[in-house]
A and B are shown apart, each in its own frame.
Chain A
Amino acid sequence: MNDFSTSFFQALGLLFHLDSDLWEIVGLSFKVSLSAVMLATFIGLPLGAALAIKKFPGHTAVRIIVDTFMAMPPVVIGLIAYLLLSRAGPLGVFGLLYTPTAMIIAQTLLITPIIVALSQQVFGPLWLKFGEQLRLLNTSTGRTLNTLLLEGRQQLITVWLAGFGRAIAEIGAVMMVGGNIDHYTRVMTTAIALETSKGNLEMAMALGIILMLMALLINILAHTFSRLQRGLT
């Protein structure tokens, strides 16, 4: 059996010598999760704002759907995406299963509800605070949205960070639709699972260290932004 501390130092070696396999995996994780969060924000932020501001017809239904998806574990979301994207499924003609694009889609499905719910929580109080004043100033809808986005920017960045953190750390969804294919759909989390099961602890630990550092960084940023927000109001 390997001595764990030997593996640990070998892991550090992999990190510092810029082992190309390792950084390829890290790079893909970033590409997939960043893309997913961008898409999720693009879809989810306006929806969260709409839910917070206007009781449009069907808003309760939307909120229930959002909450239901949020409660689902990533692997179930992965399963849904898998069924949709398989060639035997409704979106099969695009041939997306086992590609990074499928992983982006699955993670977007995973993260969008979180963004919607969290941004609604941000826009709600913002609208309560600024809504009447903006209406009195006869501000257009576009400008209102922009103003709310600016006023809530620190909090919204925290929302974005929460989404990203969730995406980069999950394994269920990307495993299902990506298939953990070598040099193609292998990301940090799926690689850790695989390498551990093969006994390659150095690689697994190296990736684990990166993920932990990332989680740390995200939390530091989130704290900094929320303190900035509180400091100004």
Chain B
Amino acid sequence: MANASILPLTLKSVDYHVQQHHLIKQMDITFDHKALTLILGANGAGKTLLLKLCCGLIKNTGGSLQWAEDVSRKKGKPLPFSLVFHKPVLLQRSVMDNICFALQDLPKLSAISRAEAALKWAGIETLAEKNATLLSTGQQQLVAIARAWATAPQVLFLDEPTANLDPDATERMESLIAALHQQGTKIIMSTHNLGQARRLADEIIFVDRGRISEQRDAKQFFAKPQSHVAQRFLATEGFL
């Protein structure tokens, strides 16, 4: 993290169309350094699309998406941000090899020691030599986040990372996410789980049908949501 900060990330009137469908509508967001940001909304609201737009996996069809610094890197060098998918994507190799795969720019020995550090940080050293694809989903997700940690990203995006996990695994993931936040990595995470949002968020961005309904401090949001859709969302999820 010796490089200049790539934050804030500013989205201005961002649109995303797929053929005729207007899926992301005129989004205005600023992601700053400090807050642990949770993107909240119903399924299909556009949370995943928003994350992919930020990562450059898909290209916005309108508006602008601007990082503070250039985020492109030479092929083989890690990007300054990472994304953890809601379903872990690992290779048919050992956990160790999976993490080293993300560290191609390092000489072999440095990569190995960095990977070992990542495993230690995530508390999964015992899994080092196991075939990653044979692990449980919870363990695989831990490998995924360890891999992301290993490249020391400035920003970590997470797309409903605990959606498929049991409560124990969810707890472990959440504590690692919180730890990352403590260490200074900007967290931008989506969820439709209100409890999780309540536990982790400093800031809530509420997405409804491709639009930003609210971007507010978390405490204020949960105390009294301003938008109608957010109110209904909280109500139907059993929150008062």
Contacts and interface: CB of A to CB of B under 8 A. Distances in A.
* A, B assembled together: yes
Interface of A: 129-130, 132-133, 135-141, 143, 147, 150-151, 232-233
B67 to A, nearest CB: 15
B77 interface: yes
Contacts of B163: none
Contact of A136 (B57, B75, B76): B57
Interface residues of B, number: 21
Nearest to A141: B75
Interface in B41-83: 52, 55, 57, 73, 75-79, 82-83
A74 to B, nearest CB: 36
Given A136-B83, A150-B91, 11 more contacts: A132-B52, A132-B57, A135-B57, A137-B78, A137-B79, A138-B75, A138-B77, A139-B75, A139-B76, A147-B91, A232-B92
Contacts of B79: 136-138
B57 A138 contact: no
Interface in B65-119: 73, 75-79, 82-83, 85, 89, 91-92, 101-102, 104
B134 interface: yes
Interface string B134-145: 100000000000
A135 B133 CA distance: 20
Give the one of B57, B77, B89, B104 with max A CB within 10 A: B89
Given A143-B104, A232-B134, A233-B133, A138 B89 contact: no
B131 interface: yes
A136 B83 CA distance: 7
A151 B77 CA distance: 22
A141 B76 CA distance: 10
A233 B57 CA distance: 25
A129 B131 CA distance: 18
Nearest to A154: B92
10 contacts: A132-B57, A133-B85, A136-B57, A137-B101, A138-B76, A139-B75, A139-B76, A150-B92, A232-B131, A232-B133
A63 to B, nearest CB: 21
Contact of A137 (B52, B92, B102): B102
For the complex of A and B, the 8 pairs showing the least CB-CB separation, nearest first, are A133-B89, A140-B75, A138-B79, A137-B102, A132-B57, A140-B76, A136-B83, A138-B73
Contacts of A135: 57
A111 to B, nearest CB: 27
B89 A129 contact: yes
Nearest to B75: A140
Contacts of B92: 150-151, 232-233
A131 to B, nearest CB: 9
Contacts of B77: 138
Contacts of A139: 75-76, 104
B18 to A, nearest CB: 15
A140 B104 CA distance: 10
Contacts of A138: 73, 75-79
Contacts of A140: 75-76
Contacts of B73: 138
Nearest to B87: A129
Contacts of B52: 132
Interface-centre pick from A130, A132, A137 (highest chain B CB count, 10 A): A137
Contacts of A137: 78-79, 101-102
A134 to B, nearest CB: 9
B82 A151 contact: no
Given A138-B77, A233-B133, A151 B57 contact: no
A98 to B, nearest CB: 46
B3 to A, nearest CB: 15
A153 to B, nearest CB: 9
A46 B164 CA distance: 35
